[in-house]
């Protein structure tokens, strides 16, 4: 195995670990908000607002629009259907 391949594999493992940690953090925040009586639509909208504000700040409008397009394609493909979610 080449050094470049090993580094790529390690980077992918680190990214996946970060993704799983982020999912856990979001799930906890979601549960806390839900327990406080906040409707799912409000939780979802504020989560998206926060995410897009951060992306715009860090990476600009083009990155935010690209992410929106990516998410739209995932919705169309059915990737957010309950039986397909991976957490």
Q: Residue 84 has what pLDDT?
A: 62
What is the distance between the alpha carbons of residues 14 and 44, in angstroms, rounded to a whole number? 27
What is the distance between the alpha carbons of residues 85 and 82, in angstroms, rounded to a whole number? 6
The pLDDT of 20-44, averaged and rounded, is 96
Q: Residue 61 has what pLDDT?
A: 96
Q: Residue 85 has what pLDDT?
A: 58
Categorize the per-residue pLDDT at 6 as very low, low, confident or very high, splitting at 50, 70 and 90: confident
pLDDT in tens, 64-78: 999 999 999 999 999
Categorize the per-residue pLDDT at 7 as very low, low, confident or very high, splitting at 50, 70 and 90: confident
Domain ranges of the chain: 1-38, 39-87
């Amino acid at each position: 195995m080449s050094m470049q391949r090993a580094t790529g594999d390690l980077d992918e493992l680190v990214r996946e670990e970060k993704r799983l940690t982020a999912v856990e953090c979001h799930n906890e925040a979601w549960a806390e908000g839900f327990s406080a009586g906040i409707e799912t639509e409000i939780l979802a909208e504020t989560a998206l607002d926060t995410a897009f504000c951060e992306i715009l700040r860090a990476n600009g409008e083009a990155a935010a629009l690209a992410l929106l397009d990516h998410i739209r394609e995932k919705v169309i493909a059915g990737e957010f259907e309950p039986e397909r979610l991976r957490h």
